[in-house]
Amino acid sequence: MTSVINVNLPELSYEIAISPSSLDQLGQQMASLKLGKKVLLVSNPTIFKHFGERAITSLRDATRTLSSANASLTSAGFEVASCTLPPGERYKTLNSIQKLYDIALENRLERSSTMVALGGGVIGDMTGFAAATWLRGINVIQVPTTLLAMVDSAIGGKTGVNHPHGKNLIGAFHQPRLVLIDPEVLKTLPMREFRAGMAEVIKYGVIWDAELFAQLEASKRLDQLRYVKPELIQAILVRSCQAKADVVSKDEKEGGLRAILNYGHTIGHAVESLTGYRLVNHGEAVAIGMVAAGQIAVELGMWQKEDTERQNALIQKAGLPTQLPTGVDIEAIIDALQLDKKVKAGKVRFVLPTEIGVVTVTDEVPSDIIRQVLRGM
């Protein structure tokens, strides 16, 4: 079960390689990319404990093709330094990036050097941003270890950190040279994080891939990894990554189509921000946002009620919330929408479904409809 998906971009194309046990192939997979000798592996303490040594061994043992005119030359493996950053969205700050800069300096990373992000979305976003901005850009490889990072954040080149007043307000587009996905690492993923990843998987079903949606509907359970067949996990990863790669290849820097990936994220980001990035995690917030967006689409006469219900049934089957957390003020959500990166000339942009697998983008949703839908949740 090895699948390779190509992300084709004007300046740089890269592969998403999905295969069980591929973590042990990391060094060999990187060897053909003609990278410099130095690698900085960035992780968090828990992930590093589980997988750090395997990744480092693979990197050190790789037979590397030299980035020389004479490509037949090979060299001993990579020279690896490693570091860990504290886990959690609240550490996704410029302070953590400054630590990475200091470590990059200590290890004298050069322009041909590579940072490897081994972890979830927070590690991937921060490592990507540090790589984007150290020496005006060095290589980055994404090795996502959460379902959410595998199907979403590790692909597409979005990197960044949070501003005290808003998520991901600081960042850059910086494409990885390779995304390596080993589904087996999901075995150590906490249940709640697995479910959070399923929110993005369901999203791809709604916005892009009706066949994926049908496969998810056919599975008896989606709420824990051990109840989902390995073949379905592989299919979920491949179809989700393919969906993301398709969209990103057509619109690298969010000029148009890429906006559809934000389905469920408009209200989702507001909910996440208002609950301090703790009470509700990103996937849960997206689940809530999809329920809201689906209902808005129904209210506007764009989507059928039965399809919203099918979507919401999947969300529930994945053990995800479909209601606003108690205590979140609806007017505060409406205000927070104004801070969204996707606001244009003060108008909030919504991605709304029209059928399973198809969405449209609009900035013409009246505030009253948003209010009414949120009150109903």
5 labeled part of a ligand binding site:
no
Q: Contact between 250 and its own copies (CB under 8 A)?
A: no
Cα separation, 291 vs 145, in Å, equals 27
| Structure tokens, 152 | 């979403």
- Report the 10 Å Cβ neighbour count for 177: 19
Q: Contact between 34 and its own copies (CB under 8 A)?
A: no
- Report the 10 Å Cβ neighbour count for 161: 22
Using CB under 8 A, which of 77, 120, 171, 289 touches its own copies? 171
Using CB under 8 A, which of 9, 33, 172, 300 touches its own copies? 172
Q: Contact between 160 and its own copies (CB under 8 A)?
A: yes
Cα separation, 298 vs 373, in Å, equals 10
Residue type, 331: E
Decide if 265 is catalytic: yes
Decide if 347 is catalytic: no
- Report the 10 Å Cβ neighbour count for 18: 24
Q: Contact between 12 and its own copies (CB under 8 A)?
A: no
Catalytic residue (choose from 99, 195, 203, 244):
244
Cα separation, 190 vs 83, in Å, equals 23
Decide if 262 is catalytic: yes
329 labeled part of a ligand binding site:
no
- In eight-state DSSP terms, residue 153 is I
| Structure tokens, 33 | 């990319």
Question: What per-residue string of b and e applies to 238-251 under the rule 16 or more CB within 10 Å gives b?
Answer: bbbbbbbbbbbbeb
User: Taking the complex as a whole, how short is the minimal distance between the CB of residue 169 and its own copies, in angstroms?
Assistant: 6
Lookup result for tokens 């050190």: 60
Using CB under 8 A, which of 110, 231, 309, 331 touches its own copies? 110
Q: Contact between 69 and its own copies (CB under 8 A)?
A: no
Strand, coil or helix: what is 169? strand
Decide if 200 is catalytic: yes
Decide if 258 is catalytic: yes
Cα–Cα distances in Å, from 292 out to 33, 105, 204, 212, 344?
43, 46, 16, 21, 21
- Report the DSSP beta bridge partners of residue 16: 5, 179
Using CB under 8 A, which of 25, 57, 133, 215 touches its own copies? 133
Decide if 165 is catalytic: no
Cα separation, 250 vs 206, in Å, equals 19
Piece in contact with its own copies (CB under 8 A), picked from 24-32, 169-177, 269-277, 312-320: 169-177
Catalytic residue (choose from 64, 92, 239, 265):
265
Q: Contact between 8 and its own copies (CB under 8 A)?
A: no
Cα separation, 339 vs 56, in Å, equals 41
Closer to its own copies by CB, 5 or 348: give it: 348
Strand, coil or helix: what is 328? coil
CB 154 within 8 A of CB 124: yes
Using CB under 8 A, which of 49, 90, 111, 278 touches its own copies? 111
Decide if 187 is catalytic: no
Mark residues 343-372: x for contact with its own copies by CB under 8 A, - for none.
xxx---------------------------
Using CB under 8 A, which of 163, 361, 362, 371 touches its own copies? 163
Decide if 254 is catalytic: yes
Count of residues engaged in binding its own copies, rule: CB under 8 A: 38
Residue numbering of the annotated binding site for Zn(2+): 200, 265, 282
- Name the residues annotated as catalytic: 136, 158, 200, 244, 254, 258, 262, 265, 269, 282
Q: Summarize as ranges the residues that interact with its own copies (CB under 8 A).
A: 10-11, 36-37, 94, 98, 101, 105, 108, 110-112, 132-137, 158-160, 163, 165-166, 168-173, 253-254, 338-339, 341, 343-345
